[in-house]
A and B are shown apart, each in its own frame.
Chain A
């Protein structure tokens, strides 16, 4: 243990401040990884200087004598501590003890990539700690096996006003998704689904070179792709560039086709309401067929990489960085992957655009259900309400009237302290508000109203404008023309389509989802690579027969109970 302490001390010296700062610049773009989501605020940035100023009301009252609760959690690779600190010794753990009288003891910690596996073993061997972060499938299994404490009345009794306000900000869906047979079994980790919508990333230096406008319609997308292939945008005299990036999984977050399908008003892998108000899966609707047909044409015309079927997102990113690719659909933070390319070729310029549409109707971006992590309490835990108190405390210190973002969010050393909190949640609009605030500050040249996190983005953008190419990615996300401005546009114009199903995985999904996903990926890949478009109709029938119909029935049954 002491070796480790020494080790921890060494690290702060070695990692450059850039590394630590960029940690804070992260986004909630990724669903599995709650600790990487950022914290900031719709809450006023001016926190009270003394943490003890808050009156010891019941939701935040301290235990006397102090209690101990056990927990487990994942540690992300990027998580850095202040000198001499660790996951069980930091600003949060000390505050839990001194202000709540709760000592959190971690039964185990593990890197994020191993968390699910390790937790599944704990669940299967009935070896849960008091408080556990779980995903939706795990939550369902735990509820079915009766391993969890019913939190319904405790939440009513102990939940602070702020907690209930943040939990209700999405219209109550988050709480509903944690409720089984009218009983609340988990506290959702509030986050934003809009961070998982697509934008179209385009190389504007290529557009300029070829004299093309920014693509607004799907026809523009196809034409731009064609020019990128035939117009020799890299000027090396060889036809070695691709038109539109696509990865072998077809859907996903980088060089994925979700945004392309959305342009045709198709919403694959998403549950949407049909005309009669029933839920249907977007993968099997006619709009999806139209979009597939278009992709097939593009493949035939050489606008997609002929070998896309073997290339995953990181391989596609290599092509982009090597200056072989000028356009792809992806998440708002994808530009971070192009930093290497920008470093190598500073003339490279990527711009995020709102999704082009196939007709007069604006394209709507599909939004997956935002909640991917839930906090559960083991049945028979000695102090089940401690979890709710911890959540009250965490939300209060991050977003409440007594918030101290420069202590609990990102501290003065640039350490992302928010990631040490055991229970976490953020207002769904957090990143968008950060973007708006940063832009306002840039316009007025006055960063004083910004909180610590927003100030970092501000400083990075100023540095980029001063010539520091390494800060380019920050400007492309949070700056005036940044990708978040595109998401803000979706949000203010209502151009979003939410996944209409947000319950736990149904029995049909558990039994058949793997089969259906394989069928879909196989069929779609084959169609794009010059298969017959009629295969789509066969796919729809097969999909239905292999469990899709069962799932659809289950999902509609669920909807009827909502």
Chain B
């Protein structure tokens, strides 16, 4: 027993600096979660402010239209999560098929570009190119005989516009992760498969995908933590009264409430609600994945 402790000592030492920094800068502030149950009085401080128990949560859950807003949030976030896995994996596999190194590297670099542009800037560009009357996207659709679509003004289209533009902006990030994973696949596996007479498609199916699976699982489970994060910056910069019905999300709602009155109790309550849901999602899927595949993602 003692020997084992000594043997594990280096591991503890390695973790120690990170452990302490996280303790101070992540765990100490978590005391603030109690503000979700208080009406904050700065002069009394966080620990002595009046206790209101579940009132902040009740206020949130009784906001008119909250059900629709919750649904919008889950719907938009869920689609983003799904597309956020499928698109980068597919793209990484396709990019992996391209043999020309210069081409491959250029594409890999370019698809990361949109990540650097903020939604404030992109929204200006999107409003132009997605306009039904003057935008180039609808002009292109028109030349294919498709009637023009009011991507940003039609409530039925708006959530999809959000998902597609978000995937377009961020898929470069995911692709890079999968490319790094692809680079880690042992070439011997391909050689063995080739000897067995597997063509490229079979190789992809039998070697590449299974090797990527842990990474795909990992990214999926982590992204489940975002089930209530539909992307504040993006929605805030792109939505309008016409699409409130399908486009208003928790974060934009809380923002509009907060603009008037900086209500930290409600803001913290909403944050805690989102955290608990994320925790349940991530925890469940973590256990499920472990039971089913015997793989621990962390």
Direct A–B contact in the complex, CB atoms closer than 8 angstroms: yes
Binding site for B on A (CB under 8 A): 120, 123-126, 137-138, 141, 145-147, 248, 306-307, 309-311, 315, 505, 509-511, 513-515, 517-519, 521-522, 524-526, 529, 546
Among B95-103, B206-214, B260-268, the stretch in contact with A: B260-268
Select B133's contact among A307, A510, A529, beta carbons within 8 Å.
A307
Instruction: Supply 9 A–B pairs (Cβ within 8 Å), ascending by A.
Output: A124-B40, A145-B42, A248-B241, A306-B132, A307-B131, A310-B153, A310-B240, A514-B257, A522-B241
- The interface bits of chain B over 37-69 (1 if a CB of A lies within 8 angstroms of the residue's CB, else 0) are 000111101000000000000010001110000
- Contacts A147-B43, A515-B64; A525 near B262 (Cβ below 8 A): no
- Contacts A124-B42, A306-B133, A310-B153; A505 near B260 (Cβ below 8 A): yes
Select B262's contact among A141, A315, A509, A511, beta carbons within 8 Å.
A141
* Chain B: number of interface residues, binned into ranges: 20 to 34
B284 at the interface (CB under 8 A from A): no
Shortest distance between the CB of B239 and any CB in chain A (Å): 9
In the bound complex, CA of A518 to CA of B255 (Å): 12
Indicate if the CB atoms of B40 and A505 lie closer than 8 Å: no
**B residues near A518, Cβ cutoff 8 Å:** 65, 241, 244, 248, 256
Indicate if the CB atoms of B42 and A311 lie closer than 8 Å: no
Indicate if the CB atoms of B43 and A146 lie closer than 8 Å: yes
Shortest distance between the CB of B123 and any CB in chain A (Å): 9
Select B260's contact among A125, A311, A514, beta carbons within 8 Å.
A514
- Contacts A307-B150, A510-B261; A529 near B242 (Cβ below 8 A): yes
Shortest distance between the CB of B40 and any CB in chain A (Å): 6
- Contacts A126-B42, A126-B45; A309 near B153 (Cβ below 8 A): yes
B152 at the interface (CB under 8 A from A): yes
**B residues near A510, Cβ cutoff 8 Å:** 260-261, 263
**A residues near B152, Cβ cutoff 8 Å:** 310
In the bound complex, CA of A353 to CA of B153 (Å): 33
**A residues near B288, Cβ cutoff 8 Å:** none
Indicate if the CB atoms of A307 and B132 lie closer than 8 Å: yes
B127 at the interface (CB under 8 A from A): yes
B1 at the interface (CB under 8 A from A): no
Lowest 4 CB-CB distances: which A-B pairs, in order? A126-B42, A525-B241, A514-B256, A521-B241
Shortest distance between the CB of A509 and any CB in chain B (Å): 7
**B residues near A141, Cβ cutoff 8 Å:** 261-262
In the bound complex, CA of A513 to CA of B64 (Å): 12
- The interface bits of chain B over 213-248 (1 if a CB of A lies within 8 angstroms of the residue's CB, else 0) are 000000000000000000000000000111011001
Indicate if the CB atoms of B256 and A517 lie closer than 8 Å: yes
Indicate if the CB atoms of B41 and A145 lie closer than 8 Å: yes
Q: Nearest B residue to A248 by beta-carbon distance?
A: B240
- Contacts A306-B133, A315-B127; A147 near B256 (Cβ below 8 A): no
Shortest distance between the CB of A123 and any CB in chain B (Å): 6
Most buried by A among B244, B253, B260: B260
Indicate if the CB atoms of A309 and B262 lie closer than 8 Å: no
Q: Nearest B residue to A124 by beta-carbon distance?
A: B42
- Contacts A309-B153, A515-B63; A137 near B260 (Cβ below 8 A): yes
B14 at the interface (CB under 8 A from A): no
- The interface bits of chain B over 152-163 (1 if a CB of A lies within 8 angstroms of the residue's CB, else 0) are 110000000000
Select A509's contact among B63, B127, B260, beta carbons within 8 Å.
B260
Shortest distance between the CB of A521 and any CB in chain B (Å): 4
Indicate if the CB atoms of B42 and A147 lie closer than 8 Å: yes
Indicate if the CB atoms of B64 and A546 lie closer than 8 Å: yes
In the bound complex, CA of A329 to CA of B45 (Å): 47
Q: Nearest A residue to B132 by beta-carbon distance?
A: A307
Indicate if the CB atoms of B43 and A514 lie closer than 8 Å: no
Most buried by B among A307, A311, A315: A307
**A residues near B242, Cβ cutoff 8 Å:** 309-310, 525-526, 529
B146 at the interface (CB under 8 A from A): no
Indicate if the CB atoms of B42 and A123 lie closer than 8 Å: yes
**A residues near B64, Cβ cutoff 8 Å:** 515, 519, 546
